[in-house]
Amino acid sequence: MARYFEKISFEQFQKDVVDDRELYESFPLPKRSTKESAGYDFISLFDFILKPGEMRKIPLGVKIHMNPGDVMFLLVRSSQGFRYNVRMCNQVGVFEADYCDNPDNEGHAWVKLQNQGDQDYVVHSGDKICQAIFLKYLTVDCEEEISTVRTGGIGSTDRKDR
């Protein structure tokens, strides 16, 4: 197996983001900014402004491939909270390996930001808006075997119809 980022299909991009082949072809996959960076920075695909108190769900155009036993945490960048009081609505996005390629949305990663500050938070296309950190996770000893398979996207593990 491998751990890597991949763009969602252009068809999913058209559905979730915009019908713009040039943007799709040109936006970069997440990467670390320095040799010792833990986080992989995701960029905004478009300009937007978050007014004080406003929330916005933002498509990232990317799906995440992981090895079994991996989890990826999606977090705001430190400067967003520290300088601007911008936060993720769920504080930490948790992505498991089986989210990738799910039938609902191909595993398309999104972030939902909220401006809890008192000034507009201005984002330009190409600005870094969140970061991903990969970790290994542990499970309890003697756990019963789990045979349930993910069949959907965000919030799908709560569905009663799976």
Residues 6+ positions from 89 with CB-CB distance below 8 Å: 55, 112, 113, 114
User: What residue ranges of the chain have pLDDT lower than 50?
Assistant: 162
The SS3 of residue 5 is strand
Whether 32 is covered by a domain: the verdict is: yes
- Please tell me the total count of domains within the chain: 1
80 and 98 in contact (C-beta within 8 Å)? no
Q: What is the mean pLDDT of the chain?
A: 92
- For residue 29, give the CATH number of its domain: 2.70.40.10
Distance CA 98, CA 107 (A): 8
pLDDT for 130 equals 97
Which pLDDT belongs to residue 93? 94
pLDDT value of position 155: 61
| Per-residue pLDDT at 74 | 97
The range of the structural domain enclosing residue 59 comes to 4-139
Contact 8, 86 (CB under 8 A): no
pLDDT score, position 145: 86
The answer to whether 94 touches 70, Cβ cutoff 8 Å, is no
pLDDT at 162: 47
Identity of the amino acid at 48: F
Does the residue 144 lie in any domain?
no
